[in-house]
């Protein structure tokens, strides 16, 4: 084996303190120190020298490179930013200090934001709790506040506020802080009518939903137990017990089929096929219940909107709630764009219209007449059972309630006072 002196001479490096500057892109400087006689080069350098069997096996510059092991993992990945003696280490330390300062600045900003968010949400909760009695004058202030705290939105406000306040007092893990930061998203339910609609539907259909879920839970246990009996000998690890088989039952009945646990026996495959068909039928029951609930709730809300609109029509001011409800079942809501013709002169009269929003122009002599919200038109042709005597055009976008001819005749028989009032208004119009 060649000596260290021979190796040094073969790579043409000086023995004493001097600089070697290789040329080329990304040039660097290496300081090579001669090792005095009897000096221990250290375990790292010594190990590398002992393992060198050729001049090309050992690079003296390796002894001068800073170690890449230990310390901060991020620092180990930093590039050599400096040049010259110790330049790489200095650059890394400078870059690490810069990153540390930036991290501290962001941490201070984040902590300040957390304090402000907690303060804002706490103030909102206190104000809502304080003003809760304004919602009802018939209940006591304490009762109104308790009802608010027990309501869905009150529980959401409380669930958001309590963790944010405790976070400022009790030290918790960072993961829990991040989770708490997601809770304010629940407050969007107050400003999103669609979420409230979902909650109302679930509340209205809770009993049939619970019944369907109970049947689903029983079937899940049964099919998981059946697959456990069939596959436990072929796959003892995957089907070690019925609880282990529940995972297969859930993904199979839900027709998801991740493929991590599958039957391999012929009986297991046949049984799994039947379970998938059962799962399609069972999972369709809650979906059908929710769909029917949505349709019923939307229809109910439309009916309430129609009822409130009819109650504001001057013609129906003297009617009680049940009479208005009867009329609300007969009328249909219609939307007409601006400048559209609602009825045309000479056409058969098939309905009368109540204006909820917007205005129309009735083309009559000696000059056109404008009708606005709360008024109606089209009754003359229904009373006299004749064609339209005027053209009615929308001045702006209209929201109307249309009452068909057969429903109009039924309404006139059911409410004689209302029929008399409509006839008087129609006579006054035709007399102009």
Q: pLDDT tens-digit profile of 97-135?
A: 666 877 788 878 877 887 888 888 889 889 998 988 887
Task: Note the helical H segments in 237-373.
Answer: 242-253, 266-311, 321-328
DSSP-derived 3-state class of residue 401: strand
Chain centre distance of CA 426: 54
Rounded to two decimals, what is the model's pTM? 0.58
pLDDT, tens only, 360-374: 999 888 888 899 888
Rounded Cα distance between 424 and 215, Å, is: 62
Architecture of domain 206-296: Orthogonal Bundle (1.10)
Find, among 426, 407, 404, 405, the residue nearest to 415 by Cα: 407
Chain centre distance of CA 177: 20
Q: Which residues of 179-199 are buried (b: 16+ CB within 10 A; e: fewer)?
A: ebbebbebbebeeeeeeeebe
Q: Which of 152-166, 177-191, 338-352 has the lowest mean pLDDT?
A: 177-191
Burial of residue 249, with CB atoms counted within 10 A of its CB: 0-12 exposed, 13-18 middle, 19 or more buried: buried
Query: Which structure tokens are listed for 165?
Result: 């306040």
Dihedral sign of CA atoms 104, 108, 113, 114 in order: positive
Find, among 54, 47, 59, the residue nearest to 2 by Cα: 54
Rounded Cα distance between 132 and 142, Å, is: 9
Rounded Cα distance between 286 and 277, Å, is: 16
DSSP-derived 3-state class of residue 370: strand
Query: Which structure tokens are listed for 103?
Result: 């991290």
Rounded Cα distance between 357 and 351, Å, is: 18
Residues 6+ apart with CB under 8 A from 251: 257, 258, 261
Rounded Cα distance between 158 and 146, Å, is: 12
Rounded Cα distance between 235 and 264, Å, is: 8
Once rounded to an integer, what is the mean pLDDT over residues 326-337? 88
Once rounded to an integer, what is the mean pLDDT over residues 239-257? 89
Chain centre distance of CA 66: 50
Q: Which of 216-230, 290-304, 373-387 has the lowest mean pLDDT?
A: 373-387
For the chain, give every domain's residue range: 4-65, 110-202, 206-296, 332-430
Does pLDDT of 295 surpass 50? yes
Q: Which of 2-16, 55-69, 89-103, 131-145 has the highest mean pLDDT?
A: 131-145
Give yes or no for a contact between 330 and 411, defined as CB atoms under 8 angstroms apart: yes
What radius of gyration, in Å, describes the C-alpha atoms of the chain?
A: 42
Once rounded to an integer, what is the mean pLDDT over residues 309-326? 83
CATH among 3.30.420.40, 3.60.10.10, 2.60.120.10, 2.160.10.10 for 332-430: 2.60.120.10
Q: Which of 26-40, 337-351, 412-426 has the highest mean pLDDT?
A: 337-351
* pLDDT, position 19: 41
Rounded Cα distance between 269 and 274, Å, is: 9
Angle between helices 141-150 and 87-131 (to 10 degrees): 140
Dihedral sign of CA atoms 142, 147, 153, 159 in order: positive
């Amino acid at each position: 084996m060649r000596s260290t002196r021979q190796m040094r001479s073969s790579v043409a490096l000086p023995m004493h303190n001097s600089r070697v500057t290789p040329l080329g892109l990304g040039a660097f400087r290496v300081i090579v120190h001669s090792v005095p006689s009897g000096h221990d080069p250290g375990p790292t350098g010594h190990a590398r020298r002992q393992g060198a069997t050729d001049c090309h096996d050992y690079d003296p510059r390796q002894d001068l490179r800073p170690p890449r092991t230990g310390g901060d993992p991020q620092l180990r990945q930093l590039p050599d930013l400096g040049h010259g003696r110790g330049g790489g280490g200095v650059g890394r330390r400078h870059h690490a200090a810069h990153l540390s300062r930036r991290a501290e600045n962001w941490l201070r900003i984040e902590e300040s934001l957390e304090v402000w968010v907690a303060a804002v949400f706490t103030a909102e909760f206190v104000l809502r709790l304080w003003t809760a009695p304004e919602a009802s004058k018939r209940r006591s202030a304490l009762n109104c506040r308790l009802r608010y705290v027990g309501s869905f939105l009150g529980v959401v406000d409380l669930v958001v506020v309590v963790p944010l306040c405790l976070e400022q007092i009790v030290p918790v893990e960072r993961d829990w802080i991040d989770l708490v930061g997601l809770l304010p998203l629940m407050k969007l339910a107050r400003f999103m009518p669609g979420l409230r609609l979902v909650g109302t539907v679930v509340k209205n259909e809770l009993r049939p939903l619970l019944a369907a879920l109970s049947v689903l839970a029983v079937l899940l246990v049964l099919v998981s137990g059946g697959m456990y009996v069939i596959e436990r000998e072929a796959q003892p690890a995957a089907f070690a017990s019925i609880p282990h088989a529940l995972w297969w039952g859930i993904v199979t009945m839900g027709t998801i089929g991740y493929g991590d646990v599958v039957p391999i026996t012929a009986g297991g495959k046949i049984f799994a096929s039947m379970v998938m068909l059962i799962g399609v039928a069972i999972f369709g029951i809650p979906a059908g219940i929710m769909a029917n609930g949505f349709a019923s709730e939307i229809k109910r809300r439309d009916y309430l909107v129609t009822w409130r609109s009819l109650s504001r029509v001057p013609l129906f001011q003297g009617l009680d709630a049940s009479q208005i409800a009867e009329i609300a079942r007969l009328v249909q809501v219609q939307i007409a764009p601006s400048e559209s013709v609602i009825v045309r002169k000479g056409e058969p009269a098939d309905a009368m219209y109540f204006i909820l929003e917007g205005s129309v122009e009735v083309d009559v002599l000696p000059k056109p007449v404008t009708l606005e919200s709360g008024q109606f038109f089209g009754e003359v042709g229904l009373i006299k059972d004749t064609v339209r005597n005027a053209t009615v055009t929308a001045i702006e976008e209209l929201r109307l309630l249309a009452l068909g001819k057969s429903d109009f005749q039924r309404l006139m028989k059911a409410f004689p006072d209302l029929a008399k009032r409509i006839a008087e208004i129609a006579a006054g119009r035709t007399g102009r």
